[in-house]
Every structure is written in structure tokens, then in C-alpha cells.
Amino acid sequence: MKYFALFALFTLFSCSNKEDILLPKSNITIVKEVNDLSPIYIFFRTKQKDTIAEVNRKNSIISTNWILNIDKRLPLRLVIPEIIKLQQKKREEKAHKNEKAENYYSYADTISKNLAFIAFTNVYYKMEKPKGNIVYFDSKSEITLNNVQIKKDELKKYLVGLKEEQLNPFVFCFSENLSYGSYIQSKIFIESIIPSLPNLEFNEFVF
């Protein structure tokens, strides 16, 4: 019933504006249920030859869990700056701050036929190239490890074999031209290798 209500809200919102958001898809559910939520939408728009990310957060409440419904066609160079603004607003709120409130991206699980979520509360985005051991997802979702191309299964085998303290120097980076849909699929892949730890803050780089 909770999922139906969320889908209904999304459908009514989209229909009232004669717009749709194409959500990313995956065959894995990371988080199945989120309660006490506020939906935020980032629409794919075009103006002449330009692509624009338009944010609608009029239904967002600072003290709730934020669910970001973002069109999968948008490139990260347009999405991430908007995410940074939203995160900053929530993190800097003092009066109504809720330490337990999380931020999630939504996507469609095509196997279970349900809406699924992946948390990004503790991710700090930076629009720059970092130093260190870089795992980079390019605009076609191909992966390089320190500039050497590597397949997903090879990367998974390599990282799984490392001890926790050996993982610290690795930073995950993404092409600014990678589509948001491919980004979410990459995050789900990373989560399958290195599950997020509660309250552990980390950086992701987009360039």
C-alpha cells in the first residue's frame, strides 16, 4: 500500500504537469521501504538545443526522508550541482533538523516490479578530479582502475579480496557526461561490493 501511494502521488504530479520522469532501472532492490518521506523531482527538459534539469522540491519537508525522483536521461553535469544544493540546504538546517532523516534516490526494480531506493545521505559530491587510487566510470559506463581498463567482474573480484583498511585509498569517480540512469546502476554495483556503513561519510567525484 505504501508503494501504491507513492506511485499514485508520482503519477498525479506528472499528469497534472503533462510530464513524465523516466526512472533508472535495476534488477536488484537495495532498500525496499521508506516511511515518513518527502518527494523531490528533477525533470528532464529541453530548451532549443540545450538540456535542462528542473528541480521541484515544493513538497519537501526538512525533517523527513527525502526521495529524489530523477529522470535517468539527465547527465551528471546537470544533476550533481542540484544535488549538492539540496544536500547543503538540508545539512545546514538547524531549527527542524532530524538526525535520523535520510536521503534516497529512487529507481525501478524490474524483477520485483516495485519502487526501490538507494541511500546517499553521507555522500559528499565534488566536481573535480581527485588524487589517489581512482575507480572511474566513463560516459559509457566502462571502468578504469588507475587509468587501466577493467571489467566489472574483475573489479569486483579485486575489491572483494581487499581488507577494509585497504579500501580506504580508493575513490569512486564518474564522468560528468554519464547519464543519471547509468550512474544509479553503477552505484548499485558498488553497493553490491562494498555495502555502505552507517554514519560513514565519503566523497564521490564527478568530472
Do 70 and 42 contact (CB within 8 A), yes or no?
A: yes
> Which amino acid belongs to residue 33?
E
Separation CA 201–CA 13 (nearest Å): 33
Q: How confident is the model at residue 170 (pLDDT cuts 50, 70, 90)?
A: confident
What is the pLDDT confidence band of residue 161, given thresholds at 50, 70 and 90?
confident
The model's pLDDT over 93-110, given as tens digits with 9 standing for 90+, comes to 888 889 899 999 999 999
Q: What is the pLDDT of residues 60-76, one digit of tens each?
A: 999 999 999 999 999 99
What's residue 17's pLDDT? Answer: 52
Q: Which of 19-28, 178-187, 196-205 has the highest mean pLDDT?
A: 178-187
Q: Model's pTM, two decimal places?
A: 0.89
Reduce the DSSP state of residue 130 to 3 states and report it. coil
Confidence of residue 121 (pLDDT cuts 50, 70, 90): very high
Q: Can you tell me whether residue 169 is helix, strand or coil?
A: coil
Helix (H/G/I), strand (E/B), else coil: 153: helix
Query: Rounded to an integer, what distance in angstroms lies between the CA atom of residue 22 and that of residue 106?
Result: 11
Is the predicted pLDDT of residue 130 greater than 70, yes or no? yes
Averaged pLDDT, 135-158: 96
pLDDT at residue 122 in the model: 94
Using CA atoms of 7, 28, 64, 2 in order, give the dihedral in degrees to the nearest 10.
40
